[in-house]
């Protein structure tokens, strides 16, 4: 038994546009865990009275405990080329991304980057991510192996890519299918790992490859589908040329049976009403990646319209097009994107999107995303006074939402005091994490 004391905040449902409905907060709270799972979360004064003997007590009083952050879209092989200058999507892929991904043919390189990448996620309080590998199956072996030793809940997949990319980064419909199948059989549902069938995006897969991806999903209905959709205007035009009979970019994926629950589409900036409606009806979800969308000049995601259409949305960092591993930074930029679109994003909804919202979007809300009893004990400890400016700003905050908003706007990895997975410390500020 582990009891963790601190201010607890989590969500039981989407708080919607404004206000704190769906949020539960215990200023002096206690999170009780048994065998790595949440037993109870509540008021510390009450729960401390009836703690079983031999409970280990960890005191984070004055700090904020949130469920571990959920990053719904990230490329681990792009860790080494994050922050590469001067291009928009299609040129950026050619100039920076493909050369970086080529190196993952080497399993030793893949494992070294995977280890760094997971440490960086944990340093930022992220405990679950939906991760793209490269075209090389060994890239996925590396990230799953590195996740397994840390006991993390991770979803990953090998990129399917058989055309319109460098020759030495291509698979074929048959090899991509066989490699994916072998990875699903080896990793999906093993410990906390789950698999995502991952065509990079429509331009780099032939119709035959997309057809086979659809067949794999029929055969393994509880695996994910993970890809990019309608991020950049030149990309959208290119897809229209490559698939002239499809009504829209989304319709290309829909035609191959790829739009269904557990389908996660990154970006979704240039969609129309019919696309949003179809995605919502089919139970597909969006990964909103604000730092990447601003960095590549792709456009402004319409968060309000997505909510009105009942479309599930999670947040993604999209490293290396995204400029930060930090979900706090990602929430900051999501707020600014909303502002640029004449909308807003309340601190409660931003934090919901980064925790339970992401878990719901990944259909994992029965396992992660909140402190409800029975859930896996993944959480993050946030120091609201981590920098002189934060400490000063907090002194002037009169309410919880004011504090949370200032934390989102000014916070980053410096605020993460500790990260836990299944009730086990996997990161502590100033200390190397045990693996």
- Using the contact rule CB under 5 A, the part of the chain among 30-38, 59-67, 266-274, 350-358 near Zn ion is 266-274
7 binds ligand GUN per the rule CB under 6 A: no
Cβ atoms of 93 and 296 within 8 Å: the answer is no
318 binds Zn ion per the rule CB under 5 A: yes
Cβ atoms of 211 and 256 within 8 Å: the answer is yes
235 binds Zn ion per the rule CB under 5 A: no
Nearest partner of 327 among 128, 63, 126, 81, judged by Cα: 126
- Using the contact rule CB under 5 A, the part of the chain among 21-29, 114-122, 311-319, 360-368 near Zn ion is 311-319
258 contacts which partner out of Zn ion, ligand GUN, none, CB within 5 to 8 A by kind? none
Tell which one of 162, 318, 376, 383 touches ligand GUN (CB under 6 A): 318
Cβ atoms of 303 and 276 within 8 Å: the answer is no
321 binds ligand GUN per the rule CB under 6 A: yes
Nearer to ligand GUN, 41 or 230 (CB): 230
Tell which one of 153, 188, 200, 226 touches ligand GUN (CB under 6 A): 200
Vertex 302 angle, CA 154 and 390, to 5° = 65
**Other beta carbons within 10 Å of 88:** 16
Does the bond joining 320 to the residue before it have cis omega, within 30 degrees of 0? yes
Mask 280-299, x = binds ligand GUN (CB under 6 A)?
A: ------------x-------
231 binds ligand GUN per the rule CB under 6 A: yes
356 contacts which partner out of Zn ion, ligand GUN, none, CB within 5 to 8 A by kind? none
List 416's β-bridge partners, or say none: 382
Where in 49-78 is the site for ligand GUN (CB under 6 A)? 75
Q: Which two tokens stand for residue 38?
A: 């949440």
Nearest partner of 423 among 368, 355, 385, 382, judged by Cα: 368
Burial class (CB in 10 A: 0-12, 13-18, 19+), 370: buried
Q: Min. distance of Cβ 49 from ligand GUN in angstroms?
A: 51
Cβ atoms of 290 and 269 within 8 Å: the answer is no
63 contacts which partner out of Zn ion, ligand GUN, none, CB within 5 to 8 A by kind? none
Sign, CA dihedral 421-118-97-139, equals negative
317 binds ligand GUN per the rule CB under 6 A: no
Which residues of this chain interact with Zn ion, rule CB under 5 A? 266, 318
What are the residues binding ligand GUN (CB under 6 A)? 75, 89, 93, 97, 200-201, 228, 231, 292, 318, 321
């Amino acid at each position: 038994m582990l009891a963790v004391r601190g201010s607890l905040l989590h969500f039981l449902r989407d708080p919607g546009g404004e206000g704190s409905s769906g949020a539960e907060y215990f200023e002096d709270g206690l999170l009780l865990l048994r065998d790595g799972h949440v037993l109870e979360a509540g008021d510390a004064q009450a729960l401390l009275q009836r703690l079983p003997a031999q409970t280990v007590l960890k005191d984070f009083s004055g700090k904020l405990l949130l469920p571990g952050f959920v990053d719904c879209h990230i490329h681990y092989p792009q860790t080494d080329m994050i922050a590469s200058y001067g291009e928009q999507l299609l040129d950026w892929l050619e100039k920076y991304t493909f050369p970086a991904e080529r190196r993952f043919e080497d399993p030793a390189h893949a494992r070294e980057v995977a280890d760094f990448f997971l440490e960086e996620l944990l340093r930022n309080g992220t405990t679950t991510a939906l991760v793209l590998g490269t075209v090389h199956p060994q890239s996925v072996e590396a990230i799953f192996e590195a996740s397994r030793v840390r006991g993390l809940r991770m979803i990953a997949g090998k990129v399917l890519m058989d055309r319109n990319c460098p020759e030495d980064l291509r698979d074929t419909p048959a090899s991509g299918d066989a490699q994916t199948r072998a990875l699903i059989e080896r990793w999906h549902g093993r410990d906390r790992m789950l698999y995502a069938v991952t065509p990079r995006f429509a331009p780099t897969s032939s119709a035959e490859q997309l057809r086979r991806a659809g067949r794999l999903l029929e055969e393994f209905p509880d695996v994910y589908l993970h890809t990019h959709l309608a991020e950049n205007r030149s990309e959208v035009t290119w897809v229209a040329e490559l698939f002239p009979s499809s009504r829209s970019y989304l319709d290309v994926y829909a035609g191959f049976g790829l739009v269904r629950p557990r389908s996660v589409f990154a970006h979704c900036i240039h969609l129309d009403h019919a696309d949003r409606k179809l995605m919502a009806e089919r139970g597909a979800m969006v990964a909103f990646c604000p730092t990447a969308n601003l960095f590549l000049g792709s456009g402004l995601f319409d968060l309000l319209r997505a909510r009105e259409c009942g479309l599930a949305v999670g947040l993604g960092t999209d490293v290396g097009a995204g400029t930060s591993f930090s979900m706090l930074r990602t929430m900051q930029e999501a707020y600014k994107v909303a502002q640029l679109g004449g909308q807003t994003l309340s601190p409660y909804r931003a934090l919901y999107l980064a925790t339970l919202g992401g878990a719901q979007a990944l259909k994992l809300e029965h396992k992660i995303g909140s402190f409800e009893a029975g859930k896996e004990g993944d959480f993050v400890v946030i120091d609201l006074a981590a920098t002189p400016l934060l400490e000063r700003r907090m002194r002037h905050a009169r309410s919880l939402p004011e504090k949370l908003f200032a934390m989102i706007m000014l916070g980053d990895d410096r605020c993460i005091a500790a990260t836990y997975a299944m009730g086990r410390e996997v990161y502590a500020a100033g200390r190397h994490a045990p693996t």
